[in-house]
Amino acid sequence: MASEHSLFKDSDRDAFANLQTTRLNRLLRVATALTIVLGMSVLVQLLIPYRGYFPADLQDSVFLSAHRGHFHGWYRAAFYIHIVAGPIALVQGAALFFSGSRQKPTPSWHRVVGRVQASVVLLFLFPSGLVMAQYAMAGPTAEAAFTLLSLATAITMVMAIRNAMVGRMTRHRLWATRCFLLLCSPLLLRVVVGLTIVTGTETDFAHRLIAWTSWLVPWFLFEVGRKRHDVARSQTKTPRLHTA
């Protein structure tokens, strides 16, 4: 009787775990869809000012007018490289992120796009981001934030490449996801800065704070969520002892 009772308890526990997993997957699909819609809308808003970049409008463009004094030489080249490479890396990153699920076979084009993505990030986005970071409008604090963001983006990409080359695909997906989160940080930065403008709370301190939180907070939340998920999985896979 005790054995049958323990089996029933284990069966109920498994059924409850499966139900929770199903609900979580549904929530993740909804959240993913909403994130895509929000991300695309913010990306469009991010691209609208490009009308003032080709050619460079140093008078009416809010961003370029603030950098008028040094918009030449290395900064000018880095600026144009960055604003072209950024959206490309973001779109490619999204395609790689949603095609690299462990539940589905990886499509054949994933590796090809991944190589292009690595080149875009490491050869264009990273160095141009380093140059632009040294001229951040909010001062040294923001300069440090954007410099570390550029370095973190490059490091996560290198780690994703290294793990893919040796066949550690779980680790590869983990580092690639981290890199994608960092690539998405300009979208979050744009949203939060917009909120400060609308609410009348835009200050130099707010810009310095957003320069850090726009990429550190999502990364922190991702790591916390990943740890909790790993703990939950390990608990469901723990073998249960049945009493006779």
Residue corresponding to tokens 């490091």: 155
pLDDT band for position 89 (cuts 50, 70, 90): very high
Nearest of 95, 12, 82 to residue 50 by alpha carbon: 82
The pLDDT of residue 36? 66
- Show Cβ contacts of residue 183 under 8 Å, excluding neighbours closer than 6 positions: 89, 90, 93, 121, 153
| Share above pLDDT 70 across residues of the chain, in percent, rounded to a whole number | 74
Q: Is pLDDT larger for residue 29 or for residue 204?
A: 204
Question: Mean pLDDT for the chain?
Answer: 82
Question: What residue segments make up the domains of the chain, in order of their start?
Answer: 52-226
Query: What crossing angle do the helices spanning 109-119 and 140-165 adopt, rounded to 10°?
Result: 140
Two structure tokens written together for 37: 């819609």
Q: Rounded distance, CA 7 to CA 18, Å?
A: 16
Whether residue 68 has pLDDT greater than 90: no
Distance CA 106, CA 102 (A): 8
What size, in residues, is the chain?
Answer: 244
Least confident piece of the model among 46-60, 90-104, 202-216: 46-60
Taking the model in full, what pTM does it have?
0.78
